[in-house]
Amino acid sequence: MDKKILKNYFYNILYQLFVVITPFITVPYVTRALGGDALGTSDWTAGIVQWFVLFGILGVNIYGNKKIAEVRDDKELMSKTFFEIFVMQFICMMISGVMYLLFIQTMKPEVQFYALLQSISLISVSLDVTWFFYGVEDFKKASIRNMIIKVLGIILIFTFVKSSNDLGLFILINAGSGVLGQAIMWFQLRQYITFQKVSTKGVIQHLRPNILLFVPQIATSIYTMLDVSMLGYLYDNVAHVSYYQQAQRFIKMFLFFITSIGAVMLPRIANMNTKGEEAKAEITRFLQVTLRMALYLAIPMIVGIITLIPSFIAWFMDAEFQIVAPLIIFTTPIILFISLSNVYGTQYMLPTGMTKEYTKSVVAGAITNAILNFILMPKYGAFGAIVASVISEFMVTVVQWKYVHNKIDLKIRIKNIYKYILSSIVMGIVVYTICQVLPPNIFSNFVAIGSGCLVYFVLLTVMKDQFHMNLLHKVLKRGKTNA
């Protein structure tokens, strides 16, 4: 795999890992300092403003990334394209901001002030140009900047937020730190672009393709949010909503190791796709590698979670939440399906202009999800919701495969993955045995995880799996170079 891709993947993973770890640092303190009512107000108002962010930003995060990647070899054209997309983004966000300010007038007076503070998030998003840095494949600046801002936010929260009376300050820190982060990003832009005047026509030309990319995003967002709403309405035990969310959050916490590949590969494939037929073979080679990497990570991840999770949940959650363990186990196939759809959809369909086909795949998943929710939720609650989600993700993957299999060679060959399956099974036996012998606690889980990873990597080294050996060689070579 290309060194720059590995480097960008590392920085993206580093930031995503930081995002996952951050709540473990702040949540225990914030829940005690603010209390349930204040924190609930913050979460609720933040959730509402996110709808206006969603409809204001449209599909800029993907479209801007893709478009900049296509023109980055021409600095003047790239600069012009950047300002056109940014102006469109800023105007759309301002319209959304006005709608939000009108909407909060309908809220209860006691929450209007906090909702108004949340509007700072709209300013932050209107100035967000992370998509540009992803388009030029500079993940380092975006990732490091985001981590620095998050660390600053954590320090400010621990320093100034002491009680429920500090709720406004808490929201101001969270929303205001985003604006500071965007200001820093604009200073970093100067090395890449030169100022270019833009016309109304130049701005408008980006609106339609941007909206086309927004459709699958809104479809995904709606059916993800509807799961929770439908479960609370269709099943008579509202606690199942919490069980379902806990299971989904746990699985998606691990998925970023795989989905981060898509964020890194999208701009690269978009740029290569502008070079015509001669680049097709290289695109195929890149995507065959990322498909292999997705399977290299997804298969042991599924087996590891299945064998470890009962022991983990036993000490991590109260007795009431032990039902979450089997729910997580039922959810694990999603890891494989999302891994594959990340390659087919995010890494190939979106950067090569197959937006309509990508949208159809997501809509197919959304419709499948809604139908199965109505059938399964009333009787099976959270378990029905999980089954519906798994089948829906499978549907998305199948539809995407239908559209791409005749265009590019992305077949899953048994000869390429049987070593991952065998190594994962042995790893799973080791993890399960350790969890049965040792009492369930954080120490035994770390031992099980460490032992499982060691077994998996050693077995692949012994069997000399080509992808594993190439990756190992690059990591060791990089380590020697840095030393």
Per-residue model confidence as pLDDT tens digits over 415-435: 778 999 999 999 999 999 999
Same domain, 114 and 255: no
Domain assignment present for 358: yes
Please give the Cα distance from 405 to 319 (Å, whole number).
47
Domain assignment present for 269: yes
Counted domains in the chain: 2
For 123, the domain range is: 1-194
Same domain, 333 and 470: yes
Same domain, 347 and 468: yes
User: Taking a C-beta distance cutoff of 8 angstroms, is the pair 334, 395 a contact?
Assistant: no
Per-residue model confidence as pLDDT tens digits over 305-319: 999 999 988 887 767
Collapsing DSSP states into helix, strand and coil, what is residue 129? coil
- What 3 state SS string does 176-245 have? HHHHHHHHHHHHHHCCCCCCCCCCHHHHHCCHHHHHHHHHHHHHHHHHHHHHHHHHHHHCCCCHHHHHHH
Q: Which of 144, 167, 194 is the last residue of a domain?
A: 194
Around Cβ 114, how many Cβ atoms within 10 Å? Answer: 21
Domain assignment present for 168: yes
Domain assignment present for 298: yes
Given this model, what pLDDT does residue 20 score?
67
Given this model, what pLDDT does residue 483 score?
44
Q: Which of 165, 194, 223 is the last residue of a domain?
A: 194
Given this model, what pLDDT does residue 223 score?
62
Per-residue model confidence as pLDDT tens digits over 60-100: 888 888 888 888 888 888 899 989 999 999 999 999 999 99
Query: What pTM did the predictor assign?
Result: 0.74
